Structure 1
Amino acid sequence: MELDFRKDPTILSTVVDTMADGVFTVDAQGRFVAWSAGAERITGYAAADVIGKPCELLEGPNCKGFGKLAEMLAAPSPPAQGICNQECKLAARDGRELYILGNVRVLTEKDGRIAGAVGTFTDLTSFILANQKIAILEEQARSRFAFEQLVGKSEAMKQVFHRIRLAADSDVTVFVSGESGTGKELAARAIHAQSPRRDEPFIAVNCSAIPETLLESELFGHVKGAFTGAVRDKIGMFQAADKGTLFLDEIGDVSPMIQLKMLRVIQEREIRRVGDDRPLPVDVRLITATNRNLKKLVQSGEFREDFYYRIHVFEIPLPPLRERRDDIPLLVDHFIREMAAAQNKPVTGIARDAMQRMMDHDWPGNVRELRNAIEHAFVTVAGEMISLLDLPPEVRTAQSPHTGRQAAAAPPEPRPLTPQQEQERQRIIEALAETGGNRTEAARLLQTSRVTLWKKIRKYAIEG
């Protein structure tokens, strides 16, 4: 048997149908004449579905791949080389959009008239979608790194996330305000991690933790012999953060003298080390924060007005936890998972009465206090669930104004459940029974999150 298809063209049909790629021919009017088995596998269209039909058959709302073929054949002088390595989309029979890499060669009669065209196409869909997924995962990973500690879905936190993204897209000087424990440094880290400076240093300095006599040297550096104990040159935080981001927390505690020196750095983009007259250029993105009222400090003369306006260009106010109570279950779940992994403890959740007390507490120390409460609970917890007795005494026993206001009003009469709600309640009860009360496993069976399951258990007054 002759196996050379050039010598025996009759075996070409077998070769073509064996190929993973799709192969087709069209006539001069763009109607399909031949359609290979590979083309059938890729598109779902059998040869009988397409032969004699115009090639626009495979077009969809966003899929104009074969339209280019029809346009090429209708052109007064189509390109002799045809279409080479053209990425486009076509519509599969089931409606899916397929990404293909196509090659088409125009066929002519002996007198030069167009007879039609022959083409092949490779299915790139899995590769394209995989690359898109990788890009999405990389972006999510960057966002998750940037916002991993700033947990929340409340409207207040959505505004914070929005302003963080706006700040990250600019190189503007940012001022982060908020009470102690609201996460000001985390917000600064998020801005840096989302910004073009993400691969450069992020340096955080708590200005109130450094004595005034040392703060100038810490920020700007010093040269050898600048003062007693300066036995060698030392770079400051501005130089250490060059090309990156410098976060100055508790900026309200900085003296007017240091404020003036930092004002010059912002204006001139250069520093002078202690004991050195030579200016050194720096390229630093500055983010400052405080829990103090800077406007009042300006009015009292404790804070320079010109420096205030230099650092207060774009403000990101962080809400206290008492103003976003809906985020408490998310934060509790986040810290439980974090500490369970870090301490290798099988803690998976928190009892309903303990969670209710967490929701009622006013959290004067904000998220930092809540995290400390969970950390306290991990010292005493026995088993999988944090109980009310595991919480710190000030959280467990204190009656907050929030709780008092709620207690003053009579509880509303529960509304009767709809049939759909009764069915959902029963499914939750069955899932809890099947998992022995393990809410994590029950949530997995119900294909929902633990926080959502906890809310529904509370809503439907399910015991256990």
Structure 2
Amino acid sequence: MKKILLDAESILESISDGVFTVDKNWRITYFNRAAEEITGIKKQDALGRLCAEVFRSNMCETECALRQTLKTGKPIIGKSGYIIDFEGNKIPISVSTAVLKDEKGNIIGGAETFRDLSELESLRQELQGRYRVGNLISRSPKMQQIFEILPAIAESSSTVLILGETGTGKELIARTIHQLSPRQKQPFVAINCGALPENLLEAELFGYKKGAFTGATKDKLGRFVLAHKGTLFLDEVAEMPLSIQVKLLRVLQDKTIEPLGSTSSKKIDVRILAATNRNLKEMVEKKEFREDLYYRLNVIRLELPPLRERKEDIPLLIEHFIQRYKKLEQKPITGISAEAISLLLAYHWPGNIRELENVIERAFILCPKGEINTQHLPEEILSLAPKIKIKQQNLKQNKEQIEKELILKTLKKHNYNKIATAKELGIHKTTLFRKLKKFNIPYHPTK
């Protein structure tokens, strides 16, 4: 029996996962070598101390996995969290727990194994960085093309026209351009041109002098003045009345504005970004939008694809929104089921990214804890269930298709140089060769 115990201890000392045990008073009774390395705390310093004093984990107070296991008798596998090591660094970990019993079956304490996820988290952030510019996230080839030119656009002072359906992220693109630009420390001012009647929109844009009209009891600065040295975002610019289009054209030509009731012009320095979900060219042909203004606005044009044309982004966006609402709502949501993702991938998303975010926010309200599942999705998405076969393999197939496309794209970028491709993908070259074989990607010698 003693030999078996010694062999078990040898095994625990040789593994890379941290292992510790506690008695019923939560004092540490065993602490293996890997636990020392991960926490930076020596075994002799850990033994006999309360586990919360040693680990200082975010789970200790309210979500202790080991406490839950001792309460229910059920093990927990792979719960995510973090600990604070000896030097004060936050270390991401996953933990698994079990009950400890004596020979008679009496509970004498608990055991926990924990794995250091620092390298995986670092790799995840590195990979995510390739798909992120500012607050924009996408692995879609169309969006990647926009990402590539966005820094150059931001550096210029030219007017930008952003086109795209409702909910595709036009204002987010505008804010990102501002944040990447030399004007980033100056104001970013936004106005929805379709939300105000003509007289109010003119006053909001250009401001007015005291006495300019009934009710003007004092001077008011317009959005152009408020955005001086910074960026003015004109959302839904197609809804701007023709009379105000004339005044906007003058601003773009002369860099001056004239507040209502003023007899003099004021010089301004503002970069204008405009956005619309309508076809401005057709509106010009129908005389609904000034042609000269259209060409003034259309110096640089960005066309955002709808979500239905970039469905490879849906899993990435879902993860992003889940992490956001986990922080906002402080709810123990662990992720989303494969069945739910299959339905979300099958949906046509008329409201685009804004609609997807609303769906995840709704799911957070309905899901108390654990995994977001199909019952937490709205009826219009659930109605797709009979039309598709919801299988676990669907999610796997989608992920593999995305991975295959990314490998092919990166190979072509580097002229099929395997070492350069593996380096950009953040994987070892042997891993790349294995994936080439798995996805049946033909071998091309380096040219």
For 1:208, what is the secondary structure of its paired residue? Answer: coil
1:305 maps to 2:305: no
- How far apart in 2 are the matches of 1:399 and 1:215? 46
- How far apart in 1 are the matches of 2:304 and 2:289? 22
- How far apart in 2 are the matches of 1:271 and 1:399? 56
Aligned pair partner of 1:198 in 174, 177, 184: 184
- How far apart in 1 are the matches of 2:385 and 2:275? 31
- How far apart in 1 are the matches of 2:147 and 2:191? 23
For 1:181, what is the secondary structure of its paired residue? Answer: coil
- How far apart in 1 are the matches of 2:263 and 2:185? 31
* Offset at residue 398 of structure 1 (A): 3.9
- How far apart in 1 are the matches of 2:147 and 2:215? 45
* Offset at residue 382 of structure 1 (A): 2.7
- How far apart in 2 are the matches of 1:207 and 1:199? 25
CA offsets 1:69-109 (integer angstroms, 9 cap, x no match):
xxxxxxxxxxxxxxxxxxxxxxxxxxxxxxxxxxxxxxxxx
Please, what TM-score do these two structures have when normalized by structure 2? 0.57
One-letter amino acid of the structure 1 residue matched with residue 380 of structure 2: E
- Show the counterpart of 1:181: 167
* Offset at residue 392 of structure 1 (A): 1.1
Write the mapping of 1:35-434 to structure 2, written as runs, cut at 5 A: 147-148=134-135, 150-398=136-384
One-letter amino acid of the structure 1 residue matched with residue 222 of structure 2: G
Greater mean deviation of Cα atoms: 253-262 or 163-172 = 163-172
- How far apart in 2 are the matches of 1:273 and 1:291? 29
Please, what TM-score do these two structures have when normalized by structure 1? 0.55
One-letter amino acid of the structure 2 residue matched with residue 211 of structure 1: P
Seen in structure 2, the aligned counterparts of structure 1 residues 284 and 399 have a Cα distance that, compared at 3 Å, is: farther
* Offset at residue 271 of structure 1 (A): 0.2
One-letter amino acid of the structure 1 residue matched with residue 186 of structure 2: E
- How far apart in 2 are the matches of 1:348 and 1:161? 30
One-letter amino acid of the structure 2 residue matched with residue 380 of structure 1: L
* Offset at residue 161 of structure 1 (A): 1.2
* Offset at residue 315 of structure 1 (A): 0.4
* Offset at residue 399 of structure 1 (A): 7.1
For 1:348, what is the secondary structure of its paired residue? Answer: strand
* Offset at residue 282 of structure 1 (A): 0.3
One-letter amino acid of the structure 2 residue matched with residue 377 of structure 1: A
Report percent identity of matched pairs.
Answer: 48
- How far apart in 2 are the matches of 1:224 and 1:399? 61
CA offsets 1:162-185 (integer angstroms, 9 cap, x no match):
232221021110000000000000
Structure with max Cα Rg: 1
Contact 1:250 1:291 (C-alpha < 8 Å) held by counterparts: yes
Contact 1:218 1:237 (C-alpha < 8 Å) held by counterparts: yes
- How far apart in 1 are the matches of 2:233 and 2:140? 26
CA offsets 1:25-71 (integer angstroms, 9 cap, x no match):
xxxxxxxxxxxxxxxxxxxxxxxxxxxxxxxxxxxxxxxxxxxxxxx
One-letter amino acid of the structure 2 residue matched with residue 387 of structure 1: N
One-letter amino acid of the structure 1 residue matched with residue 134 of structure 2: F
- How far apart in 1 are the matches of 2:158 and 2:365? 43
Structure 1's unaligned 5+ residue stretches are 1-136, 415-446, 449-455, 460-464
CA RMSD of aligned residues (A): 2.8
- How far apart in 1 are the matches of 2:384 and 2:167? 19
Contact 1:163 1:316 (C-alpha < 8 Å) held by counterparts: no
For 1:349, what is the secondary structure of its paired residue? Answer: strand
